[in-house]
Amino acid sequence: MSVVAEGIHGCLTKMAAQVNAQGEVAYTLRAGDHELSLNERIGLPLSIQWTGAIACTHCGRATRKSFAQGHCYPCFKRLAQCDTCIVKPETCHFFQGTCREPEWGEKHCFQPHVVYLANSSGLKVGITRNTQVPTRWMDQGAIQALPIIEVDTRLQSGQVEMLFKEQVADRTNWRAMLKGQVPPLDLQEERDRLLASLESGLSELSERFGEGALRRLNGPVQHFTYPVETFPQKVVSHNLDKQPLVSGTLMGIKGQYLMLDSGVINLRKYTGYEVAIR
């Protein structure tokens, strides 16, 4: 990747996020082969101009509409990563012999996953591959996160998550997350409360999956601080499809959202869109 000081041009991919030992998150905007460090742009003007072009992030073909965050329709219908079981892992159908791409499924779904608690707009449960820790939490704008159970497959993680969803939400209220008025939680206390309450269901899953399949974790809570100068009091969302030019002063970054004084924009939503950023 090349780094451009003034501006970049190319097709968007989701922002890269890194966290240091103090929990401070640093963002890099990526478009094509170029990168733009964003933390240093807080408080400065920023503009995003969509050219009208969209390229599939998998095959590169031009598409009038983006599906599943950056895919053309043929890839959306063909790729396993675009199947509904990715959003709902408890519906994994690999063992039925109907996986769209068995080799892809073996590589991505048959590896350790963690079930976690996070605080993004309040308490939530979620799952992610071990390799996506802590990226998944930063993408969600979580201010705290705590892995609680490790399993061997994505299907197992989905089954465990379904059990926890009986008592805790699995979604982030993105507007509340962006307003920055989220109080800290004692995630270890919440973990212990939920594990005790769901003991019977967890035991049933352990019997179904086999001894040692559900491994309870006892690590520390991870904390995140985002580069935000001013949180919006009212969240107004920009839409590149309706407004090809978005501009304003960059006031902060959280999750995959840029906070401008003119409104917020979810850059991940526009994966594959060709833009010029200044």
CA–CA dist 257, 248 (Å, integer): 14
Which residues lie below 8 Å from residue 90, measured CB to CB, with a gap of 6+? 155, 158, 159, 161, 162
For every residue of 167-197, which 3-state class applies, written as one string?
Answer: CCCCCCCHHHHHHCCCCCCCHHHHHHHHHHH
CA–CA dist 28, 35 (Å, integer): 6
Give the pair of three-digit tokens for residue 113.
């996953």
278 residues of the chain, pLDDT tens digit each = 433 346 799 999 999 999 999 999 999 999 999 999 999 999 999 999 999 999 999 999 999 999 999 999 999 999 999 999 999 999 999 999 999 999 999 999 999 999 999 999 999 999 999 999 999 999 999 999 999 999 999 999 999 999 999 999 999 999 999 999 999 999 999 999 999 999 999 999 999 999 999 999 999 999 999 999 999 999 999 999 999 999 999 999 999 999 999 999 999 999 999 999 99
Q: Where are the domains of the chain?
A: 2-65+226-277, 112-223
Q: Tell me if 264 sits within 8 A of 2, measured CB to CB.
A: no
**How high is the pLDDT of residue 7?**
79
Closest CA to 146 of 166, 119, 164, 174: 119
Give the pair of three-digit tokens for residue 96.
């039925």
Q: Tell me if 231 sits within 8 A of 252, measured CB to CB.
A: yes
Query: In the chain, what is the straight-line distance between the N-terminal and C-terminal CA atoms, in Å?
Result: 18
The separation between CA 49 and the C-alpha centre of its own chain, rounded to angstroms, equals 24
Which residues lie below 8 Å from residue 148, measured CB to CB, with a gap of 6+? 114, 115, 116, 117, 191, 194, 195, 216, 217
Angle formed by the axes of helices 199-209 and 187-197, to 10°?
Answer: 70
Q: Tell me if 229 sits within 8 A of 252, measured CB to CB.
A: yes
**How high is the pLDDT of residue 246?**
98
